[in-house]
Amino acid sequence: MNECLHDIFILNNKIKKRKEFDSSYLDKGKSFYEVLRYNDGCFLFLEDHLGRIANSIRLFNIDYILDLRSITDSFLKLVLNNSVKLGNVKLVINFNDTSILKPSILVYFISHKYPDIEQYNSGIDVSLLSMERRMPNAKFVNIPVLNAVKKELIVKGFYETLLVSNEGYITEGSKSNVFFIKDDAIYTPPIQKVLPGITRKYVLDICNELNIRLIEKDISINDLTRYETIFISGTSAKILPVRKINNISYNVNNRLIKQVIESYEKIIARYTGRRKKNIIEILDPLIL
């Protein structure tokens, strides 16, 4: 299946037609990736995403340094050659042989599913999936996990599914991090057991700025009824309340989640305000 959208994608900083896209760059060898939100001249938190993909590669002991000039130039070429104002962009760095220091680097638009107003107001229903990601701090293509998640999200129709470890602890969503609210405190699984989400990082910053007590701890599926409110965070979801996990319902109008949502939107507005003046300005600090 060709997950590349629109007419043009970028391969090794060269412009390519969509019909030339080869899925082997995703499922052969080792592929590391990031998904960024693009909005009319701004790649949201681009620096954070590039830092995380570099760390994912490092965790696999691959001796490779990102060519920031080439990668950021690829982002620029992508948007200049596609008439797209809003969407998700995927960066893939593929090593078919980890001894080769010149991986294949792809940048392309993918389909996205942003929550609608009703979902932000009323929350979403999520499922639980008994599945663990190997090396959770690294973001790489994991075919068994992808196939299991696809069944939950596409076949069963959930917006998101929460992964549950062999010990019965919730770790993260398939494409998000998860937070639990109880007694004016926010709880989230320990960073050692989850992908260090970009949006998650900003949620932690918000909690620190607003003096909201944040606790990293294991969250057992047996304790789900003890929490008042649950929300997920992610590139597409932003900050999204959870209405129900299986048959357990939650309050989507909690005071703390409203504060977090409001603060996160302000962070996005400040970032895009700085970057949207000219798309070249998005990339200059990384190129220089």
Establish if 279 belongs to a structural domain: no
Question: Contact at 8 Å (CB) between 17 and 7?
Answer: yes
Whole-number average pLDDT of the chain = 91
CB atoms within 10 A of CB 205: 13
121 and 264 assigned to the same domain: yes
Q: At what angle do helices 46-59 and 279-287 cross, to 10 degrees?
A: 40
pLDDT, residue 285, reads 45
Cα dihedral across residues 119, 173, 155, 106: positive or negative: positive
pLDDT, residue 286, reads 45
132 and 25 assigned to the same domain: no
Establish if 206 belongs to a structural domain: yes
Number of domains in the chain: 2
| Residue of 48, 29, 98, 107 lying closest to 74 (CA atoms) | 107
100 and 123 assigned to the same domain: no
Upper half-sphere CA count for residue 223 (Cβ side, 13 Å) = 14
Residues 6+ apart with CB under 8 A from 9: 16, 18, 20, 21, 78, 106, 107, 108, 109
Establish if 287 belongs to a structural domain: no
Establish if 276 belongs to a structural domain: no
96 and 14 assigned to the same domain: yes
Establish if 23 belongs to a structural domain: yes
The per-residue pLDDT string of the chain (288 residues; one tens digit each, 9 = 90 and over) reads: 689 999 999 999 999 999 999 887 787 889 999 999 998 789 999 999 999 999 999 999 998 999 999 999 999 999 999 989 999 999 999 998 655 568 999 999 999 989 999 999 999 999 999 998 889 999 988 878 888 888 878 778 889 999 999 999 999 999 999 999 999 999 999 999 999 999 999 999 999 999 999 999 999 999 999 999 999 999 999 999 999 998 899 999 999 999 999 999 999 999 998 876 555 444 444 433
Domain-ending residue, one of 112, 145, 168: 112
77 and 132 assigned to the same domain: no
140 and 127 assigned to the same domain: yes
CATH of residue 183's domain is 3.20.10.10
pTM higher than 0.85? yes
253 and 178 assigned to the same domain: yes
pLDDT, residue 33, reads 95
Residues 6+ apart with CB under 8 A from 130: 163, 164, 166
151 and 219 assigned to the same domain: yes
Establish if 286 belongs to a structural domain: no
Domain-ending residue, one of 91, 112, 133: 112
pLDDT, residue 282, reads 47
Condensed to tens digits (0 to 9), the pLDDT of residues 236-270 reads 999 999 999 988 999 999 999 999 999 999 999 99
DSSP state at residue 226: G
Establish if 288 belongs to a structural domain: no
Domain-ending residue, one of 86, 112, 138: 112
pLDDT, residue 239, reads 98
205 and 224 assigned to the same domain: yes
Q: Quote the domain boundaries for residue 215.
A: 117-271
80 and 124 assigned to the same domain: no
86 and 167 assigned to the same domain: no
CATH of residue 70's domain is 3.30.470.10
Condensed to tens digits (0 to 9), the pLDDT of residues 228-240 reads 999 999 999 999 9
pLDDT, residue 275, reads 73
Work out whether strand 160-164 and strand 229-234 pair parallel, antiparallel, or are unpaired.
Answer: unpaired
98 and 121 assigned to the same domain: no
Distance CA 249, CA 264 (A): 25
| Residue of 218, 244, 221, 246 lying closest to 231 (CA atoms) | 244
Q: Identify the three-state secondary structure at position 107.
A: strand
Establish if 26 belongs to a structural domain: yes
